C-alpha cells in the first residue's frame, strides 16, 4: 500500500511548524518590546564611579537640587556637579573615607568624575529643562522621588507618549513656582510638596494653566525641529 504521507511531506510539515514558531516568537518579542515600559528603560540604574546617595544629601541633609544641578532652571540642559561642589564639604567631611577616593583623585588630577548619564532624549527630539522647570513642572513628575533614592534609577519611561500625555493634561502636574511660605523651598524643587489644605492638584492645576496660559505644544515640529 502506498504511503499517504511520504517522508518529504513530514519534513515540510515540520519546517512549516518551525517557521510558524519562529514568526510567532518574533511577534511575541515585538509586542513585549512595545508594551513594556519603554523597552525596559524604567529601572535602569547604572553603577556610578562614586556611590553618591541622594537620599542622604537631599532627604537628610536637605540640600537643594540646584546646589549641584545648577543649570536646571537656566539652561536647556541640566548638569552634573563639578568636583569642586563635592569638595566644598568633602575637603573636611569624611576626608579619608575610601568611598570618596575617586572624588579626591579627581580633585588632585583635575580630571572630572565620569558620571554615567541615566536619562537620554535621542538627538532627533528637542527637550529643554528650563522651559519646564520655570513653568511649574517639578523634577518629581519626570524623575520620580529622587530625594528618596539611595541610587538614582530611571523612574519614568520618557517615551514620546509620555511627553504627550502631560502636554495634553498639564493641569495634573503643574505647581506654583513660588514657595507658599517664607523660607520654604519652591514646590518645583520640593519633591514632597502637596497642595495646601482644602485644595486638590486638579483645581490648583486648572487655575495655573488658565492664569499663566500654559499650552504645551502637541505638533510634531515643536519636538522634532
- Name the burial class of residue 98, with classes exposed (0-12), middle (13-18) and buried (19+) by CB atoms within 10 angstroms of its CB: exposed
**Which of 55, 69, 206, 207 lies at the binding interface for ligand HEC (CB under 6 A)?**
69
28 vs 128 by CB, closer to ligand HEC: 128
Asked whether position 62 contacts ligand HEC by CB under 6 A, the answer is no
Residue partners of 4: CB distance under 8 A and separation at least 6: none
Task: Please tell me whether residue 104 binds ligand HEC under the rule CB under 6 A.
Answer: no
Q: How far is the CB of 10 from ligand HEC (least distance, A)?
A: 44
C-alpha cell at 127: 527637550
How far, in Å, are 35, 107, 224 from residue 160 at the CA level? 13, 39, 11
Q: Does 55 bind ligand HEC (CB under 6 A)?
A: no
42, 63, 179, 204: which one contacts ligand HEC (CB under 6 A)? 63
Q: Which of residues 151-210 bind ligand HEC (CB under 6 A)?
A: 152, 158-160, 163-164, 166-167, 170, 173-174, 189, 191
65-68: Cβ within 8 A, 24+ apart: 65/139, 65/146, 65/189, 66/189
Rule CB under 6 A: choose which of 30, 125, 178, 202 binds ligand HEC: 125
In sequence order, which residues have a C-beta less than 8 Å from that of residue 218 and are 6 or more positions away?
Answer: 164, 167, 168
Return the C-alpha cell found at 182.
Answer: 517664607
- The set of residues, in sequence order, having a beta carbon less than 8 Å from that of 220 and lying 6+ positions away, is none
Nearer to ligand HEC, 21 or 32 (CB): 32
Stretch of 6-14, 24-32, 71-79, 194-202 contacting ligand HEC, by CB under 6 A: 71-79
Site membership for ligand HEC, residue 150 (CB under 6 A): no
**Listed ranges 12-20, 21-29, 59-67, 175-183: which one lies at the site for ligand HEC (CB under 6 A):** 59-67
Kindly tell me which of 126 and 180 has the beta carbon lying closer to ligand HEC. 126
Closer to ligand HEC by Cβ: residue 10 or 114: 114
- Region of 159 please: left (phi>0), alpha (psi -120 to 50) or beta: beta
CB 146, CB 103: distance < 8 Å: no
Site string for ligand HEC, 30-49 (x = CB under 6 A): --------x---------x-
Min separation Cβ 17 and ligand HEC, Å: 34
Amino acid at each position: 500500500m502506498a504511503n499517504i504521507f511520504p517522508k518529504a511531506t513530514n519534513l515540510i510539515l515540520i519546517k512549516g511548524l518551525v517557521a510558524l514558531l519562529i514568526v510567532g516568537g518574533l511577534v511575541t518579542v515585538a509586542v513585549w518590546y512595545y508594551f513594556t515600559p519603554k523597552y525596559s528603560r524604567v529601572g535602569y540604574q547604572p553603577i556610578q564611579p562614586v556611590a553618591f546617595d541622594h537620599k542622604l544629601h537631599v532627604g537628610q541633609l536637605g540640600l537643594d537640587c540646584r546646589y549641584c544641578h545648577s543649570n536646571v532652571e537656566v539652561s536647556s540642559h541640566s548638569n552634573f556637579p563639578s568636583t569642586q561642589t563635592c569638595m566644598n564639604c568633602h575637603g573636611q567631611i569624611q576626608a579619608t573615607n575610601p568611598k570618596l577616593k575617586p572624588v579626591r583623585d579627581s580633585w588632585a588630577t583635575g580630571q572630572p568624575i565620569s558620571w554615567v548619564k541615566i536619562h537620554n532624549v535621542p538627538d532627533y527630539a528637542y527637550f529643554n529643562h528650563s522651559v519646564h522647570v520655570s513653568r511649574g513642572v517639578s523634577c518629581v513628575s519626570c524623575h520620580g522621588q529622587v530625594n528618596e533614592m539611595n541610587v538614582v534609577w530611571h523612574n519614568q519611561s520618557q517615551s514620546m507618549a509620555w511627553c504627550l500625555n502631560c502636554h495634553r493634561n498639564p493641569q495634573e502636574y503643574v505647581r506654583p513656582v513660588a514657595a507658599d511660605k517664607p523660607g520654604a523651598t519652591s514646590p518645583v524643587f520640593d519633591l514632597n510638596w502637596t497642595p495646601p489644605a482644602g485644595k486638590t492638584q486638579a483645581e490648583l492645576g486648572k487655575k495655573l494653566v488658565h492664569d499663566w496660559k500654559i499650552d504645551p505644544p502637541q505638533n510634531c515640529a515643536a519636538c522634532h525641529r
